[in-house]
Structure 1
Amino acid sequence: MNIQDQKHLNLQSDKSTGSLSNQDDDVTFIKESSVKNLLNWTDCVDAMESALVAISNTSQKSDSEPFSSQTPRTFTFAGNKGVLLTMPGYASNYTLNSVTGSDKKHSTLSCKLVTSFSGNSQLNPAIPGILGTILLFNSDTGKLKAIVDGTEITAWRTAAVSVVATKYLYCDMNLKNLDGNIVGKELAIVGCGTQGRIHALAMLNYFPNVFIKVKLWNRSLNRAEKLKKELNALFPEIIIVIADSSILCVAGADCVVTATNSSQPLFELKDLKENVHINAIGAGTNHHSELAMDIYQSSSVYIESYIGLETELKGIKEYVNGEVGEIVAGKKFLHKIENSKNVTVFQSMGNAIEDGVMANMIYQKFMKN
């Protein structure tokens, strides 16, 4: 936010706190650098686990049970260059245990504005293809209380939700052998842009000593090489290799992340081993185009929310078995498909409740500092 923006809002900037205030109320502005300093995987995953449980309850059944309310996001297309999304939501009675150290209940009213411009990666210097700002409101009065830069939150919350999905759809059943010892697993990252990178970091940080090998693939080799160099420096004990194709990348992998703008399937069911878990991020306008249809037809498929299923995942609606939050809350058991490869798929769409809960987590930590 520049000086002219601040004058337009009739707000004054407090450089020491990063807040903007007028004479009556304080509106806190949390910029990207502050957000980065307050993010860690333990807090993010804990917050997203709480958010997913709230998402799975769309009406208030008691004074203490988490619940949420949201509408399908709206899309405003900027020609063929990109799209502006509007994502409002309300979540109540959820906890931020790792941040507060207690079972204190939180409520959040928020609206996220996000743009997706795939050409941003070709700029010099490049900027993220997905940019966002999150507005936090007082949930009792509706007054604006904070403006939070949402770019890092978008990246981290997406990966944190994938971690929760991996934890409940795959890890609880597949990480240990009969002796209870952790078995080395192989991770495949298909697409090495912003989301591919943050997912690699999330998986390797949150599941230490689980993955012994990571395979990377990207359409442009230099981006894969850059991520390989970064991962080698951070995780020298893990083997990091670059695959020659998306099919070779997923061959033999136990856990797969697809994070591309591809409009065509990158691999088919026959390319996967048994007992694979896939986090399909699908940053393009069609969320489910990265995976071949036979994968959805033969897998246990879970999503964040039924909201938006009709409009954004119309092509695979009949194959969706439930919401991840229903599994986390114990409302449903993991669906098994007989005579299949036992593949599980988490199809990511992004969600207003996740953004609001993450922004509130950052806000709580920022105000404590």
Structure 2
Amino acid sequence: MLFINDQEVLNVLNWEETFEAIETAMIIDGDGLLLTMPGYLEDNKYGALACKLVTAFNNNDKLEKPLPVINANIALFDQQTGLLNAVIAGTEITKWRTAAASAVATKQLFLNNSKECKILALLGCGVQGKIHAEAFHHFFGFTEIRLWNRTTEKAREMANELNRKFSTTKFKCVPKNEECVKDADVIVTATFATSPIVEFEWVKEGAHINAVGAGTTHHSELSEKLYMNSDVYVDHWAGAKQELSGLEELGVKFKGEMGNVIAGDLPRSAPNRITVFQSLGKCPRKVFVDEERQNVNTISILFGHSVTNPLDARSLFPTPLVSDRGTGIDNTIVDRASVQYKKANAYCYCLPLHN
């Protein structure tokens, strides 16, 4: 059995192909694919049967020897026999997938309205904050990327690190969240905030927001007034109805799924409207990024690079399917999804562990 660690995953990832995979997968959701953990995608090229296990321990970074707060591993199974083919570390692919999804949404909802990306406001300087900063620098060429974090020193450290790494963009630590957001073209929130960190009055007309964080609450980073005065898009409608039910109860109207925007089935918002991409995570996005890498007789490295002898592939180290985060747990639902993995609209679940 092959085990692929995060560094080996990182060695074969690049932004262009990750972006293309995410954009393609967003369109395909309407074909009745399972969005669950376990997950299955029936496709000649990207087909996969897999299960992702995620743990989230908020105090891990406070340990004497700090550990990642969120950890993920993926088990990939043979689609014909059900045998386990590989266990793969899922942290890197989860990071890249989430940032690429935000980049796709920004392209579709902001840039395709003929707007310029000049200032990015990034709130939250953890793992997702950093990968978003790198991805958005790569794709959009912001002249200024502002960084805010609850602990200012962490934002300052990240700004210094990224300024050393990239010379064409100015990374700036901003001590106040309002100052960070003011006049920003694009905003990314990647925090565990339990109360709003972005208010409607701070956001300029026509700005785009990628709401990525907030842990299990999903929608606590933005104020109610901001949601009420924005066009809100989601990655997967069935999952959004469950995980964002609190917003629906407030009367927030969801514009639709990103896949429909990409496919041209849903008109984009007017240029003066604030748009919000509420990132919940959806399984096929990671299928497309990952499953190109694993076959019964060959190991296909992401997007076209393959070898016929699995032993020769150890230096290339492919990765398979990953699912994404969810809330709550119901063993009946998980068991049923495990058996009926071809059914549509099953969503992803994450065990609420205590240790």
Tell whether the structures are fold-level matches, with TM greater than 0.5. yes
Instruction: Within 5 Å, give how 1:82-97 maps onto structure 2.
Output: 87-93=37-43
- Provide the residue aligned with 2:273 in structure 1: 342
Q: Residue 35 of structure 1 contacts residue 362 of structure 1 at CA under 8 Å; is this kept in 2?
A: no
Name the structure, 1 or 2, with higher relative contact order (CA <8 Å, separation 6+): 2
Q: Residue 27 of structure 2 contacts residue 259 of structure 2 at CA under 8 Å; is this kept in 1?
A: yes
- Provide the residue aligned with 1:255 in structure 2: 186
- Provide the residue aligned with 2:20 in structure 1: 46
- Which of structure 1's runs of 4+ aligned residues deviate more than 4 A? none
Distance in 2 separating the partners of 1:92 and 1:327: 23
1:273-323 superposed Cα distances (whole Å, 9 cap, x missing partner): 111000001241100000001111111111111232232111223421111
Shift of 1:133: 0.8
- Provide the residue aligned with 1:24 in structure 2: none
- Provide the residue aligned with 2:101 in structure 1: 161
Q: Which amino acid aligns with 2:92?
A: E
Distance in 2 separating the partners of 1:283 and 1:296: 15
Q: Residue 15 of structure 2 contacts residue 100 of structure 2 at CA under 8 Å; is this kept in 1?
A: yes
Distance in 2 separating the partners of 1:331 and 1:35: 34
1:16-48 superposed Cα distances (whole Å, 9 cap, x missing partner): xxxx2xxxxxxx321112111111111111111
1:133-166 superposed Cα distances (whole Å, 9 cap, x missing partner): 1122223333322221101111110001111111
- Provide the residue aligned with 1:75 in structure 2: none
For 1:307, what is the secondary structure of its paired residue?
helix
Shift of 1:184: 5.5
Q: Residue 48 of structure 1 contacts residue 357 of structure 1 at CA under 8 Å; is this kept in 2?
A: yes
Which 10-residue stretch deviates more, 267-276 or 315-324? 315-324
Distance in 2 separating the partners of 1:259 and 1:330: 28
Distance in 2 separating the partners of 1:293 and 1:358: 34
Shift of 1:121: 2.2
Distance in 2 separating the partners of 1:246 and 1:310: 29
Q: Which of 130, 139, 149 is equivalent to 1:197?
A: 130
Q: Which amino acid aligns with 1:329?
A: A
Distance in 2 separating the partners of 1:249 and 1:362: 40
RMSD: 1.9
The answer on 1:265 being equivalent to 2:196 is: yes
Distance in 2 separating the partners of 1:361 and 1:329: 22
Shift of 1:362: 4.7
Q: Which amino acid aligns with 1:156?
A: W
Name the CA shift for 1:147/1:216 in 2 (closer, same or farther; >3 Å): same
Structure with greater strand percent: 1
- Provide the residue aligned with 2:301 in structure 1: 365
Q: Which amino acid aligns with 2:16?
A: T
Which 10-residue stretch deviates more, 31-40 or 117-126? 117-126
Distance in 1 separating the partners of 2:65 and 2:131: 19
* Identical amino acids, percent of aligned pairs: 39
Shift of 1:124: 3.5
Distance in 2 separating the partners of 1:356 and 1:124: 36
Name the CA shift for 1:215/1:362 in 2 (closer, same or farther; >3 Å): farther
- Provide the residue aligned with 1:16 in structure 2: none
Distance in 1 separating the partners of 2:137 and 2:178: 22
Distance in 2 separating the partners of 1:70 and 1:237: 39
- Provide the residue aligned with 2:75 in structure 1: 135
For 1:136, what is the secondary structure of its paired residue?
strand
**Any unmatched runs of 5+ in structure 1?**
1-19, 21-27, 60-67, 72-86, 94-103, 176-182
Instruction: Within 5 Å, give how 1:275-354 maps onto structure 2.
Output: 275-317=206-248, 318-336=252-270, 341-354=272-285
Shift of 1:358: 2.5
TM-score of the superposition, structure 2-length normalised? 0.79
Q: Residue 61 of structure 2 contacts residue 69 of structure 2 at CA under 8 Å; is this kept in 1?
A: yes
- Provide the residue aligned with 1:206 in structure 2: 139
How many residues are matched? 297
Name the CA shift for 1:138/1:355 in 2 (closer, same or farther; >3 Å): same
Distance in 2 separating the partners of 1:192 and 1:51: 28
Distance in 2 separating the partners of 1:128 and 1:305: 27
Q: Which amino acid aligns with 2:80?
A: D
Distance in 1 separating the partners of 2:194 and 2:41: 33
Q: Residue 39 of structure 2 contacts residue 51 of structure 2 at CA under 8 Å; is this kept in 1?
A: yes
Q: Which amino acid aligns with 1:201?
A: E
For 1:118, what is the secondary structure of its paired residue?
coil
- Provide the residue aligned with 1:119 in structure 2: 59
Q: Residue 257 of structure 1 contacts residue 280 of structure 1 at CA under 8 Å; is this kept in 2?
A: yes
**Any unmatched runs of 5+ in structure 2?**
295-299, 308-315, 317-355
Name the CA shift for 1:91/1:336 in 2 (closer, same or farther; >3 Å): farther
Q: Which amino acid aligns with 1:203?
A: F
Distance in 2 separating the partners of 1:112 and 1:354: 13
The answer on 1:215 being equivalent to 2:146 is: yes
For 2:108, what is the secondary structure of its paired residue?
helix
- Provide the residue aligned with 1:14 in structure 2: none
For 1:224, what is the secondary structure of its paired residue?
helix
- Provide the residue aligned with 1:69 in structure 2: 34
